[in-house]
Amino acid sequence: MNTLNIMEQELNRALQMASVQGRVTSEIQQAVKDDLAQKGMENVSFTSDTTFTTVERGGLIKVGIVVERPGMSLYSGVIRLIGGKDIQKDEFVVRGTAMSEYLE
């Protein structure tokens, strides 16, 4: 739960910055990755529906952040113990939308 709370806070910060810029810039991406790395979260990426092209004021900006779980999950461990297949990729995803405030 702590990981999701941290990711939600970072998502809100990214949405605020993207709203002013009109899109998710490379600087915003790097800031998100750096902040999450400081909190122990590596392998950060953005979902394919994240808005990387400029959106005029009033349009919607989407941001999706994906973080791979740093260690094996409890669920994955239990499934392996009872003879099931291990989860190959365990990740957290948070998504949000904000209105663009960008004026050209």
Each residue of 18-56: pLDDT tens digit? 999 999 999 999 999 999 999 989 899 999 999 999 999
Rounded to whole angstroms, the Cα distance separating 22 from 34 reads 21
Q: Structure pTM?
A: 0.81
Instruction: Give yes or no for a contact between 47 and 69, defined as CB atoms under 8 angstroms apart.
Output: no
- Tokens describing residue 72: 């094996």
Residue 71, pLDDT score: 59
**Is the residue at 104 inside a domain?**
no
Q: Is residue 65 part of a domain?
A: yes
d(CA 77, CA 60): 40
What is the number of structural domains in the chain? 1
The pLDDT value recorded for residue 46 is: 97
* Higher-confidence position of 2 and 59: 59
Q: Tell whether 39 is covered by a domain.
A: yes
List pLDDT tens digits, range 80-98.
Answer: 667 655 555 678 899 999 9
> What span, in angstroms and rounded, lies between the C-alpha atoms of 56 and 60?
9
